[in-house]
């Protein structure tokens, strides 16, 4: 069930992308929408090491907050026409605090919507935001690269499945979408060889039975890589299915708050042909 959707915005022209998707999702599930606006203050205000005078620093701070307030006014006006209960949460913050704000906000919502970190014009620090949401919340994170467009949502959903913990988490977080989708395709990519046929049939039937009990009818495709990368295979399957949502588990490990992503996760955080819902 999705009743609280949080959309991350930064006051830029690109805010229309996450807001459009978040508004459509909120309408689909009759959910509440919160736009989380993080106005990142210049480093000079937080580093404590500046050649600027106190008066100059105050002027920079005032200007930054004034720009943020103007952006917040525009966002509030946009939310008035969202067609769902919507509110703006405006926070002036240091770059170093992004992780904490995003992690906490995503934990307290059913779905966190953000502009895809690989989209053109996205600020560099939003890659950190993607990491914070993915690995700091244990919730579903919906990344969108392009505006949502007028087409109906959820005509076709593709789910990457490898029986892993992360894939299972993503499947669980995506369940409200799958229950509303017209078609759901489960794709398993065989990289190194084909498991025993009996084992494959058992795994496929177990998953299909579980999803059917939740009201989701699926088709399961096992695709041999044949020299292609897993990402290449998945992109081709997304295109063949004419999917409008892709679901996958996120893989990675931490090294002092720098996340080292798995190859497929990294590829789809760099670019995805359709909105991607990830979970870990």
In this structure, are residues 278 and 143 in contact, taking their beta carbons and an 8 Å threshold?
yes
pLDDT digits (tens, 9 = 90+) for 133-179: 887 777 899 998 887 766 667 899 999 999 888 999 999 999 999 99
pLDDT of residue 179: 96
pLDDT of residue 258: 45
pLDDT digits (tens, 9 = 90+) for 47-56: 455 567 778 8
- Pairwise CA distance, residues 139 & 103, whole Å: 10
pLDDT of residue 85: 97
pLDDT of residue 256: 41
pLDDT of 269 > 80? The answer is yes
pLDDT of residue 197: 57
Say which range, 5-9, 42-46, 73-77, 134-138, has the weakest mean pLDDT: 42-46
pLDDT of 4 > 70? The answer is yes
- Give the mean pLDDT of 112-134: 78
Could you identify the residue written with the tokens 């008066």? 55
Q: C-alpha 147: how far from its chain's center?
A: 14
Q: What is the mean pLDDT of the chain?
A: 86
Q: What residues contact 248, with CB distance under 8 A and at least 6 apart?
A: 159, 160, 167, 170, 234, 264, 265, 268, 276, 277, 278
pLDDT of residue 89: 96
- Map out the domains of the chain with their CATH numbers: 4-144 (3.40.50.620), 156-279 (3.40.50.620)
pLDDT digits (tens, 9 = 90+) for 6-32: 999 999 888 999 999 999 999 999 999
pLDDT of residue 43: 74
pLDDT of 131 > 80? The answer is no
pLDDT of residue 161: 94
Q: Would the pTM count as exceeding 0.85?
A: yes
**Cα separation of the two ends of the chain:** 18
The Cβ of residue 104 has, within 10 Å, a number of other Cβ atoms equal to: 12
**In the structure encoding, which two tokens stand for residue 37, read together?**
């606006």
In this structure, are residues 20 and 2 in contact, taking their beta carbons and an 8 Å threshold?
no
pLDDT bracket for residue 239 (50, 70, 90):
very high
Q: Provide the percentage of residues in the chain whose pLDDT is more than 90.
A: 53
């Amino acid at each position: 069930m999705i009743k609280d959707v949080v959309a991350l915005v930064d006051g830029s022209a690109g805010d229309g992308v996450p807001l459009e998707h978040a508004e459509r999702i909120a309408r689909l599930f009759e959910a509440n929408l919160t736009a989380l606006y993080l106005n990142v203050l210049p480093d000079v205000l937080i580093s404590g090491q500046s050649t600027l005078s106190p008066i100059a620093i105050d002027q920079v701070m005032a200007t930054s907050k004034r720009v943020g307030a103007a952006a917040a006014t525009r966002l509030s006006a946009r939310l008035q026409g969202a067609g769902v209960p919507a509110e703006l949460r405006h926070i002036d913050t240091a770059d170093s605090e992004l992780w904490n704000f995003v992690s906490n906000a995503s934990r307290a919502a059913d779905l966190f919507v953000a502009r895809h970190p690989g989209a053109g014009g996205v600020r560099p620090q939003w890659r950190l935001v993607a990491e914070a949401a993915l690995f700091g919340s244990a919730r579903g994170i919906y990344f969108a690269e392009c505006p949502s467009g007028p087409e109906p949502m959820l005509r076709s959903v593709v789910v990457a499945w490898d029986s892993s913990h992360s894939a299972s988490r993503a499947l669980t977080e995506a369940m409200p979408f799958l229950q509303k989708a017209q078609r759901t395709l489960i794709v398993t990519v065989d990289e190194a060889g084909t498991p025993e046929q009996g084992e494959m049939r058992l795994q496929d039937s177990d998953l299909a039975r579980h999803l059917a009990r939740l009201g989701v009818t699926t088709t399961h495709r096992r695709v041999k890589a044949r020299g292609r990368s897993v990402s290449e295979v998945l992109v081709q399957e997304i295109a063949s299915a004419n999917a409008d949502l892709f679901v996958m588990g996120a893989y990675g490990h931490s090294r002092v708050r720098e996340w080292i992503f798995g190859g497929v996760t990294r590829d789809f955080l760099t670019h995805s042909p359709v909105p991607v819902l990830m979970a870990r």
